[in-house]
Structure 1
Amino acid sequence: MKLKIFTAFALGMAMCISSCKEDFLEVTPTDRVSDEAIVGDSVLFEAFVINRYLGARLQDKEADGVPPGFGRGWEYALWSSLTDESIYRSDDNTWLIQRGQLAPENTGIAGSLWGRSYRSIREVNYALTNSEKVVMSQAHKDLLMAELKFIRAFRYHDLIRNYGRVVLVGDRVTQLNEDLTDPALFTRASMQESIAYVIAQLDEAVAGLPTDNSNTWQKGRATKGAALALKSRLLLYAASPLYKQNGSQVTWQDAATAAKEVMALNKYRIDPQYANMFIAEEGNSPEIIFARYYNLNSRHTALEIANGPNGYDGWGGNAPLQNMVDAYEMSNGKMISDQTSGYNPQNPYADRDPRFYATILYNGAPYRGRAVETFTPGGKDSKDGPSNWNTSQTGYYLRKFMDETNPIQNPWNVAGRQPWIYFRYAEILLNYAEAQNEAVGPDATVYEAINLIRQRPEVSMPALPAGLSQAEMRERIRHERQVELAYEEHRFYDVRRWLIAEQTENVPAYGMEITKQGTNFVFNRKVALEGRSFQNKHYWLPIPRAEIQASGGKLEQNPGY
């Protein structure tokens, strides 16, 4: 990473146990750093703070080669494969969530969010509590304290958007021998209390964070823009139907104001290019607000082999669904369901939104010197091609995030350096447009925000038609989020906060079967993954059973589990 991440420090829950003592022997372990060393050395203390941008690897196939950051990020199975965006070729504990089999005893790839978040919160609290012991300038210490509050806020935001109400532990540093009878350790705050706490932390962080990280080695650390962007996202969520029904008192106007705070910085703008911002290793896009960066010594999953077509020796990992393909408009701005759009079901990939071509590999797509062949019989990227166990079940492969300059074969010492973007300016504009539309209706600023995204030079989609009602604009904004932010860990949360997941997630996971007959192709929709299901209880994740048991049964489980 561009951050000087000292992963060898292994500073987690066990960091307070700095020696092993018996009556006849005292041994100082060499695989950890003592409390005294951390607070006694300003360099070690800052390294400890920087490491809090990362988390612990808590389950199999999590974080390939580097510790996980916030959210899921670059993994073999992306978070998109729990939604109507994609399915994961090799399952990896994603299908049970797609099929509505999620349970406290079986949480699939979603099982580590609770434990990792609270572990990180404890580590942040340790640093905040002990900061006065560290000898450094007060100005620099204040900066580190602001970073820590941002990191803690991000962890709580991740808890809230996945589980709803959270346990607020303040600055408390829990110990392994903590008294389990203390209700403060297990009492979940109200939704409004949870959100208010995080927003207060972000306001304090904003006051202490820099506008820019001027040095290269600071890249990837929090700024005012990052904290304000997180505030914008959380308040947008908190104003949404799911959160309101669970006790949030945040208004749409609150959310619109928060998005405008980011816009008012006049620091970020829409990147003229769409595809390139996801693969530029230096992350110099004017659109990126906050991201995680990688380098050759700290690389993530080699995306090209993990997701590439089998005919190129790829593994076909996160296969886009037909559900997602159908969401892309025609280049004239009309949905394919519109009889006047010009859509031809026997030539379905012609004249679509340019973001479709930047995001999804389809039959006939130009890629690495030849056209993708998902047809049968004989297609190189179909089940008739090489390594047919890696064939996409949907007839599509993921293109977004893939760098064609990286090798697919033997990528291990080269690939894996694309940034993972946590916040970008397009999200802020979408946040503003949604909140402002809900607060006052589709005024000129709502149109302006959406059209800035649609009309970036590389995309150049038509502006939204004038005269839309509030309800019509709502649907257009939701659609724009689906297309613009595809595969970036938004869809899972959007359909839940809008309370539409019982519609979108109960639709079959569709793919496309393409048969070649002479020089022509015949297209037939198929079900790519059987049994897709969503129930009302799935709007929130279950707290893992092990966490409930560790609390002695005092921690309240989410309804329905």
Structure 2
Amino acid sequence: MNIKSLKLPGLAVAALLTVTACDQNFLDVVPTDRVSDASILSDSVLFEAYVTNRYMGVRLTDKEAEGTLPGFGRGFEYAMWSSLTDESIYNNDDNTWLIQRGQIAPENTGIAGTFWGRSYRSIREVNYALANIEQVPMSAGRRSRLKGELQFIRAFRYHDLIRNYGKVVLMGDKVSEVSDDLTSPELFQRAEIKAGLDYAIAQLDEATALLPASNDNNWKLGRATKGAAMALKSRLALYAASPLYNAGTWQQAAAAAKAVMDLNKYNLYTGGYGNLFITSDNPEIIFGRLYAIGARHVCLEIANGPNGYNAWGGNVPVQNLVDDYEMMDGTRITDANTSYDPKNPYKNRDPRFYATILYNGAPYRGSTVETFTPGGKDSKDGPSNWNTSKTGYYLKKFMNDNLPIENPWDVAGTQTWIYFRYAEILLNYAEAQNEATGPDASVYAAVNAVRQRTGVGMPALPAGLTQAQMRERIRAERRIELAFEEHRFYDVRRWKIASTTENAPAYGVEIGKTGNTFTYTRKEALTGRSFADKQYWLPIPRTEIQASNNQLEQNPGY
């Protein structure tokens, strides 16, 4: 791991938490963007601020920060993780096309190069806090909660490392200070995948015992709870049992998901699928991050909206995904008895389609999306045509129509990036239980709850499915329900089907208009999509290998 990645990037806790000092010697300057170790360890308020700032991630250099978001995941940054898989492409590249085309390399990681360094930097920061928490004056209950939060954050960072790189370096508590020995060979020894998963899950079990069931109103979403730790365990246990990892059992994965369900704390949101992602206070969210609109990276309406609305058309859905939405009657467009009409392809589709994707003819902001040619305002014939979608579709999910597209940066408002929600837990359970025992009644109940919730209303799955048929239906349900939420990239890899899904062309549609008649012609929207087996894991950036004096083992094939 990069020595740079282990530097204390400050015990800087926030711009608000600055100190100033003056001295007779004007050369003795105290930095105003950070507080000292002594101050943090003697003041429980500052120490807690240090802990909560670990949720927001590490401070990156300008080069490292380009194309990334602080915190867990990329959230609302320009190129989303969906544009590295068969959900979307990023219209203007943003360092995604080389990954789609199988050209990722240790020297050129595109948007996927920051996980290793930022994760280990965060782990070191957590270790620092855990190593010193006992000397901070505070109540025993408060100390226990902060310990639980720190263990949750450390486990989340290992979750990011494991699902991207496979084998990881288990630092434990060995590195917490910049004075620690950073040359020891054990700091570059990558543990087997099972050891990494076992460690992260053990951390979460300990965190669960220490964390509160709920947060107060000031931190309702942004800090870990028992449910958040258990949800992360559910995801890791599901990964562990999957073919790529082969490091756990499906029974363990089912039990981890069932434990969250048995809390009887979370429910599926019934106010409409689209509203789920713009309603922060809802019972489906287990753990999320609330964003303020004042920041550049949350203006997703302008980043992803149609060019005819003076937006930038960023992460544009591909036809591959559109084709996988069922009809409202539950038939698939490829079924022999389908109700699909290729001359009217967007009629009577799964309601989640309309909440996720803007298509030709979709109502939008008091107008109608027009991706047809000639003359469609959201086509190449419209304004800002350099932002025209290459696929003929635009993203709808996550976007709040009450927020402006133009000049959005100073508008008050908030949006939430959801890391864990109850629908994922139900689908985790259904998948694991089906693999463990077959499609029993509890599997049907979990999947059908997601499909039939108020605001979606899709038909129940047909009775009598075999285990293999149920597996296919659960995978299809995850593709639709969790679209654009950073699951697909990891799902197709853990299932070991990426060699199929990621080698297929990224399709779009050309829509022609003659009078009141539309024609739909399939097209390849991004040429050269390619996937090799080595890409089941990301390459460790070359700079990290070099910083270890080549002691760090690279992933195979790179």
The TM-score, its normalising length taken from structure 1, stands at 0.93
- Which residue in the other structure is 1:266 paired with? 264
Q: Given that residues 371 and 511 in structure 2 are in contact (C-alpha distance below 8 angstroms), is that contact kept between their aligned partners in structure 1? A: yes
- Which residue in the other structure is 2:507 paired with? 510
Q: Given that residues 67 and 77 in structure 2 are in contact (C-alpha distance below 8 angstroms), is that contact kept between their aligned partners in structure 1? A: no
Residue-by-residue CA offset, 1:96-154 (whole Å, 9 max, x unaligned): 10000000000010111111100000000000001111001111011101000000000
435-444 or 296-305, which deviates more:
296-305
CA offset at residue 192 of structure 1? 1.2
The SS at the match of 2:418 is strand
Q: C-alpha distance in 2, partners of 1:16/1:306?
A: 33
Q: Given that residues 78 and 318 in structure 1 are in contact (C-alpha distance below 8 angstroms), is that contact kept between their aligned partners in structure 2? A: yes
Q: Match for 1:295: what amino acid?
A: A
Residue correspondence of structure 1 range 127-526 to structure 2 within 5 A: 127-176=129-178, 179-244=181-246, 248=247, 250-272=248-270, 273-280=272-279, 283-296=280-293, 300-414=297-411, 417-526=414-523
Residue-by-residue CA offset, 1:379-402 (whole Å, 9 max, x unaligned): 000000000001000000000001
| Equivalent residue pairs, number | 542
Residue-by-residue CA offset, 1:147-191 (whole Å, 9 max, x unaligned): 000000000000000000110111123554654541111001111
The SS at the match of 2:539 is coil
Q: C-alpha distance in 2, partners of 1:483/1:259?
A: 20
- Which residue in the other structure is 1:30 paired with? 32
Q: Given that residues 67 and 111 in structure 2 are in contact (C-alpha distance below 8 angstroms), is that contact kept between their aligned partners in structure 1? A: no
The SS at the match of 2:10 is helix
Q: C-alpha distance in 1, partners of 2:181/2:429?
A: 45
Q: C-alpha distance in 1, partners of 2:51/2:11?
A: 16
CA offset at residue 14 of structure 1? 3.7
1:64–1:560 Cα change, 3 Å: closer
1:87–1:61 Cα change, 3 Å: farther
Q: Match for 2:542: what amino acid?
A: R
The SS at the match of 2:213 is coil
1:545–1:413 Cα change, 3 Å: same
Q: Match for 1:159: what amino acid?
A: L
1:350–1:430 Cα change, 3 Å: same
1:35–1:61 Cα change, 3 Å: closer
Q: C-alpha distance in 1, partners of 2:11/2:160?
A: 26
Q: C-alpha distance in 2, partners of 1:100/1:415?
A: 41
- Which residue in the other structure is 1:119 paired with? 121
CA offset at residue 417 of structure 1? 2.1
Q: Match for 2:538: what amino acid?
A: L
The SS at the match of 2:415 is coil
Q: Given that residues 9 and 59 in structure 2 are in contact (C-alpha distance below 8 angstroms), is that contact kept between their aligned partners in structure 1? A: no
1:405–1:65 Cα change, 3 Å: farther
Residue-by-residue CA offset, 1:445-496 (whole Å, 9 max, x unaligned): 0000000000011110000000000000000000000000000000000000
CA offset at residue 27 of structure 1? 4.0
Q: C-alpha distance in 2, partners of 1:330/1:452?
A: 18
Q: Name stretches of at least 5 consecutive residues in structure 1 with no aligned partner.
A: 1-10
Q: Match for 1:354: what amino acid?
A: P
CA offset at residue 435 of structure 1? 0.1
CA offset at residue 340 of structure 1? 1.1
The SS at the match of 2:38 is helix
Q: Given that residues 66 and 299 in structure 1 are in contact (C-alpha distance below 8 angstroms), is that contact kept between their aligned partners in structure 2? A: no
1:404–1:471 Cα change, 3 Å: same
CA offset at residue 193 of structure 1? 0.9
Q: Match for 1:103: what amino acid?
A: A
The SS at the match of 1:241 is coil
1:35–1:390 Cα change, 3 Å: same
Q: Given that residues 86 and 320 in structure 1 are in contact (C-alpha distance below 8 angstroms), is that contact kept between their aligned partners in structure 2? A: yes
Q: Given that residues 180 and 551 in structure 1 are in contact (C-alpha distance below 8 angstroms), is that contact kept between their aligned partners in structure 2? A: no
1:416–1:318 Cα change, 3 Å: farther
Q: C-alpha distance in 2, partners of 1:61/1:345?
A: 46
Q: C-alpha distance in 2, partners of 1:109/1:78?
A: 9
- Which residue in the other structure is 1:15 paired with? 10
Q: C-alpha distance in 2, partners of 1:66/1:499?
A: 27
1:472–1:415 Cα change, 3 Å: farther
Q: C-alpha distance in 2, partners of 1:486/1:422?
A: 13
Q: Match for 1:452: what amino acid?
A: A
- Which residue in the other structure is 2:16 paired with? none
Q: Name stretches of at least 5 consecutive residues in structure 2 with no aligned partner.
A: 1-5, 13-18
1:57–1:373 Cα change, 3 Å: farther
Q: C-alpha distance in 1, partners of 2:89/2:192?
A: 34
CA offset at residue 299 of structure 1? 6.7
Q: Match for 2:81: what amino acid?
A: W
Is 1:538 equivalent to 2:538 in the alignment? no
Q: Given that residues 150 and 201 in structure 1 are in contact (C-alpha distance below 8 angstroms), is that contact kept between their aligned partners in structure 2? A: yes
- Which residue in the other structure is 2:98 paired with? 96
CA offset at residue 504 of structure 1? 0.1
Q: Given that residues 307 and 317 in structure 1 are in contact (C-alpha distance below 8 angstroms), is that contact kept between their aligned partners in structure 2? A: yes
Q: Match for 2:49: what amino acid?
A: A
CA offset at residue 421 of structure 1? 0.2
CA offset at residue 278 of structure 1? 0.2
Residue-by-residue CA offset, 1:406-435 (whole Å, 9 max, x unaligned): 111111112672100000000000000000
CA offset at residue 74 of structure 1? 1.4
Which contiguous aligned blocks of 4+ residues in structure 1 show a shift greater than 6 angstroms? Answer: 16-19, 61-66
1:63–1:178 Cα change, 3 Å: closer
Residue-by-residue CA offset, 1:260-284 (whole Å, 9 max, x unaligned): 000000000111121101012xx11
CA offset at residue 552 of structure 1? 0.3
1:65–1:101 Cα change, 3 Å: closer
The SS at the match of 2:169 is coil
1:288–1:219 Cα change, 3 Å: closer
Q: C-alpha distance in 2, partners of 1:559/1:64?
A: 27
Q: C-alpha distance in 2, partners of 1:174/1:140?
A: 22
CA offset at residue 217 of structure 1? 3.8
315-324 or 299-308, which deviates more:
299-308
- Which residue in the other structure is 2:3 paired with? none
The TM-score, its normalising length taken from structure 2, stands at 0.94
Which of residues 43, 47, 50 is equivalent to 2:49? 47
Which of residues 552, 555, 560 is equivalent to 2:557? 560
- Which residue in the other structure is 1:7 paired with? none
285-294 or 474-483, which deviates more:
285-294
Residue-by-residue CA offset, 1:230-276 (whole Å, 9 max, x unaligned): 000000001000001xxx1x100000000000000000011112110
1:65–1:477 Cα change, 3 Å: closer
